[in-house]
Chains A and B, each alone.
Chain A
Amino acid sequence: MDELKEVIKNYVSNEYLEPDSDPIDYETPLISGGIVDSFSMVSLKRFLENKYHIQIPDDKATPEAFDSVNKIAELVKEFVKA
């Protein structure tokens, strides 16, 4: 699980943070905190689907479910298991 969280954290950091941004942790609010906008969420979803060979239905890929590394990891885990 920790490895999964690190993968997500690294992807989000590289993809969305500017060089002078504060670093994020597993609980940092991503969407409600304005780090990931709703446009960009789609590439995060696509990245996870390709990396873990899963399909996350659109109704599960809500801004709430993508709002922190912990929440995203929970979501991914659900589909990797299934």
Chain B
Amino acid sequence: MAYPAEVRKLYQDQIKVMREAGILKEERFICSPQAADIEVEFPAGSPLKKVINMCANNYLGLSSHPEVIKAAHEGLDRRGFGLSSVRFICGTQDLHRQLEEKMSEFLGTEDTILFPSCMDANAGVFEAILTKEDVIISDRLVHASLIDGIRLCSAMNDSYKHSDLEHLEQKLQMYQDKRLRLVVTDGVFSMDGDAAKLDKMVELCDKYNAMLLVDDSHATGFIGKTGRGTHEKFGVMGKIDVITTTFGKALGGATGGCVSGRKELVEMCRQKARPYLFSNTVAPMIIAGVLKVLDILSATTERRDKLEKNTNYWRKGLTEAGFIVKEGDTPIVPVMLYNAKLAQDFSVALYEEGIYAIGFFFPVVPQGQARIRTQLSAAHEIHHLDKALKAFTKVGKKFDILHKTKQEIIDKYGM
């Protein structure tokens, strides 16, 4: 052991700097199931407070759905708590293969492989399918897990300006000498809530002989007419070479993710992806719960339709109240505040009004782009949204940011 006082102080000083800058992240303890109404202990040791949750990835309100819970219970009873193994030794049950087949059917792909999370899927997929002879060209705002996966891969990597397809085309032209080209994007961008123009991207990839990988974690289950994802919204189902996505958001919100797409690419992941080879299999009860989620979503679009209505109501309400809201039509609705400390303070003030919504700032979003990211759910009723709008307006007035321009907010609070 070597943890002398000066080493301890080094870390204490770093934490102190973050605390003083108002950017230290603190967890809030939720003492109820995930839902529109939750009970929270915050700060630690405080009495429980009932608040409306406006920042969960529980887009379809299935995280605590009775049928999903029942299916998970049955999975637990029939297939046990855990498997104490990675997939390829003795960690693959019939349920795992069933879910892989159902996900392929749901997404309209050739094959699917499960991972412990989508973070793991993204960490493993690039190195499994590319070599140093190849190039990865990614949108500059892709999720951190894609960036990490790309860094773990020996292929050359480059990036294009966010959603700038002219810039992407220049990059595709530049790398025609490479063996393989892989373009990488989020389907719906997690921090801004805008969607990648997948129809145009598929055209470009066809023209320049490139594969396309889409992380659809913030889309699977609710984007597109039947909720299949961003590829459905843009009419390019069957044309995306690799989709990575999660079960940790709309699809029940527990854990787990997958790589889905061309069968040879999926097979390469099964043979070579390190998080698949060296991490435990997903627990049977989770698989059983997600199978039930897919049954529910395949039977009706009622939940995704309600989510769409809620989203429109919320966006309109915030805009009319005088907030600067990032444009888009997805249930990720960022309220722009620009300054990190303001975002933190705004979040605390909202909490006092009974609204749970978290401030996001660098490094989660670029410097000077701090915000409150609100997220809608099919679990919200109009009365939840009305109460939240009232609270946002009250806090917005308190900080004097309503009907102000970006520059006016920055002049008042700094970047």
Contacts and interface: CB of A to CB of B under 8 A. Distances in A.
Interface of A: 18, 34, 37, 39-40, 42-43, 46
B114 to A, nearest CB: 28
Interface of B: 138, 140, 147, 150, 156-159, 161, 171, 174, 367
A43 B367 contact: no
B158 A42 contact: yes
B171 A39 contact: no
Contact of A39 (B150, B174, B367): B150
A40 B158 contact: yes
Nearest to B156: A42
Contacts of B158: 39-40, 42-43, 46
A12 to B, nearest CB: 13
Contacts of A40: 140, 158-159
Contacts of B157: 39, 42
Nearest to A39: B159
B138 A39 contact: yes
Contacts of B171: 43
Nearest to B136: A39
Contact of B174 (A34, A37, A43): A43
Nearest to A16: B161
A16 to B, nearest CB: 8
Which 8 A-B residue pairs are closest in the complex by CB-CB distance?
A43-B158, A39-B159, A40-B159, A42-B158, A39-B157, A42-B156, A42-B157, A39-B158
A43 B140 CA distance: 13
Contacts of A39: 138, 140, 147, 150, 157-159
Which of B147, B158, B174, B367 has most A Cβ within 10 Å? B158
B326 to A, nearest CB: 15
B129 to A, nearest CB: 19
B47 to A, nearest CB: 42
A46 B174 contact: yes
A37 B367 contact: no
Nearest to A46: B174
Nearest to A18: B161
A76 B320 CA distance: 54
Nearest to A17: B161
A43 B159 CA distance: 8
Contacts of B147: 39
Contacts of A43: 158-159, 171, 174
B353 to A, nearest CB: 33
Contacts of B156: 42
B193 to A, nearest CB: 19
Contacts of A46: 158, 174
A17 to B, nearest CB: 10
A62 to B, nearest CB: 16
Nearest to B159: A39
Contacts of B161: 18
Contacts of B159: 37, 39-40, 43
Given A40-B159, A42-B156, A46-B174, A34 B367 contact: yes
B271 to A, nearest CB: 27
Nearest to B362: A34
A46 B161 CA distance: 17
B3 to A, nearest CB: 30
A39 B161 CA distance: 12
B282 to A, nearest CB: 31
